[in-house]
Amino acid sequence: MSIISIASPDSSTMLASRSLARRVFDKAVASPGFRAGAAIFIVLALATALYPELSGIDPVKMDIKARLLPPLFEGAKWSWAHPLGTDQLGRDMLVRSLVGLRYSFLIGVASVIVMLFVGCTLGTIAGYFGGRIDAVIMRLTDAQLSIPMIILAIAVLGVSRPTIPAIVLVLGMSNWPVYARMMRSVVMTERQREFVRAAQIGGSTDLRIIVTLLLPLLLPSVLFTSVLDVARMMIFESTLGFLGLGVQPPTPTFGNIIADGRKYLLNAWWIATMPGLFLGLTLTSINLMGAALERARDTVHAGGE
């Protein structure tokens, strides 16, 4: 990535020649919040990608002799072999947390993709065609926004086996109304503009206008918002795991590690708290980047156009 180059502050004429999305991105990257988030994220990503394989520790291998070892510098029995200690079955907490982070992140990203697809499709249809289709889709979003999705998620996953595709689908269906509303409102204003009319007069079909003119213009700003939703979905996923409705053990995920650790809270506090620290750190880094992007988008859109 070569965009780290710092743009000189008075380069507004040069700025205008770049695309809006690019300007937002550059502005966000220049903010300290984004850089701090990105730095934490890269460190965590590298650790997650490499450490479980490099250390050669199996996250599900039990070792009863080394059970309930405390993390570094805590008590008498700590060791460098298990920097974050071990759980009630002698499994290494650091490797388990990192493997849990993999699942959590992949599920988070996948469910946001599902959500974007459903939300943007329905929102664009509602905003572009209007009328009765619009009314139906909007009432549907109203209804869904008034039920907490966690109820539906528990109801669905409580009975059908919680496999990864099922979890991704349930999470993806949870927040699409927000995107549908967002897309609808921008599509409604954009479709009144001259370039859309010109394309219509020129004989373009609706599909062609949507795909080639509207989506490239509107998607980037929606994508900036969706960064924050990755974090939200990761929390949702771990909540489900905590209730026993996420990816099933022995596969370690944040939710089921914390749920396990809750039983040993009084004599081994690190089992429940350490994975949460990792999750919190990851989410903070994603949220810092997402918030910086949103902020940059708002200032560029407010001042730029």
Partner 1 sequence: MFTLNFLIRRLAQGVVIIFLVSFLIFTLLRVVPGDPVRLMAGGMAPEALIEKIAKDMGLRDPIIVQFGRYMGSVVRGDLGQSFVRPANGASTGGSSFNDSTRGERAEVLTLILEALPMTLQLAAMTLAISLVFSAIIGIAGGLYPGRWPDKVAFYISSIFISLPNFWLGIVLALLFSVKLGWLPAIGYNGFAYTILPAIVLAVEMSPVLIRTLVGSVSSQMTEAYVSVGRVRGLGRTRIIANHVLRNASVPLFNLLGIQFSSLLGGVIIVEYIFDYPGLGLLTINAVLQRDFPLIQGIAIVTSAIFVLINIVVDLVATSIDPRLEY
Q: Any residues with CB less than 8 A from the CB of 26 and at least 6 apart, and which? A: 3, 7, 18
61-69, 116-124, 165-173, 257-265 -> range binding partner 1 (CB under 8 A): 257-265
Q: How far is the CB of 235 from partner 1 (least distance, A)?
A: 5
In 10 A of CB 117, how many CB atoms?
Answer: 13
Q: What does the block give as tokens for 80?
A: 């460098």
Residue 189 CB, shortest distance to partner 1, in Å, is 18
Tell me the per-residue interface mask from 3 to 42 with partner 1, x by CB under 8 A, - otherwise.
------------------------------x---x-----
Task: Provide Rg for the chain, Cα atoms.
Answer: 23
C-alpha to C-alpha distances, 278 to 12, 30, 99, 181, 218, nearest whole angstrom = 40, 26, 11, 33, 34
Binding to partner 1 by residue 248, rule CB under 8 A?
no
Q: Examine residue 288 and tell whether it contacts partner 1 (CB under 8 A).
A: yes
For position 254 contacting partner 1 by CB under 8 A, the verdict is yes
Residue 69 CB, nearest approach to partner 1 (Å): 19
Taking alpha carbons only, the member of 22, 38, 33, 3 closest to residue 300 is 22
Q: Is 267 in the site for partner 1 (CB under 8 A)?
A: no
Residue 75 touches partner 1, criterion: CB under 8 A: no
160 touching partner 1, by CB under 8 A: yes
Looking at the DSSP bridge assignments, the partners of residue 86 are 92
Q: Which stretch binds partner 1 (CB under 8 A): 49-57, 83-91, 195-203, 259-267?
A: 259-267
Residue 265 interacting with partner 1 (CB under 8 A)? yes
Residue 1 in tokens: 């990535």
Read off φ and ψ for residue 86, nearest 5 degrees. Answer: -130, 165
Tell me if 146 contacts partner 1 by CB under 8 A: yes
Distance, CA of 290 to CA of 25 (rounded, Å): 11
Q: Are 88 and 271 in contact (CB under 8 A)?
A: yes
Interface with partner 1 (CB under 8 A), residue from 150, 166, 188, 199: 150
Task: Check whether the bond before 165 is cis (ω within 30° of 0).
Answer: no
DSSP 250-291: TS--HHHHHHHHHHTTTT-HHHHHHHHHHHHHHHHHHHHHHH
Question: At closest approach, how far in Å is the CB of 243 from partner 1?
Answer: 8
Whether residue 162 has a cis bond before it, omega within 30° of 0: no
- Exactly one of 7, 113, 154, 223 binds partner 1 (CB under 8 A); that residue is 154
Interacting residue with partner 1 among 16, 39, 58, 158 (CB under 8 A):
158
Give kind and range of the element (H or E) at residue 230.
helix 215-242
Q: Which stretch binds partner 1 (CB under 8 A): 67-75, 126-134, 191-199, 284-292?
A: 284-292
Q: How far is the CB of 54 from partner 1 (least distance, A)?
A: 27
Spatial contact of 175 and 115, defined as CB atoms under 8 Å apart? yes
Instruction: Give me the 113-132 binding string for partner 1, x by CB under 8 A, dash otherwise.
Output: --------------------
Q: Taking CB under 8 A as the rule, does residue 284 contact partner 1?
A: yes
Query: What residues make contact with partner 1 under the rule CB under 8 A?
Result: 33, 37, 139-140, 142-152, 154-156, 158-160, 231, 235, 238-239, 242-243, 254, 258, 262, 265-266, 269, 272-273, 276, 279-284, 286-288, 291, 298
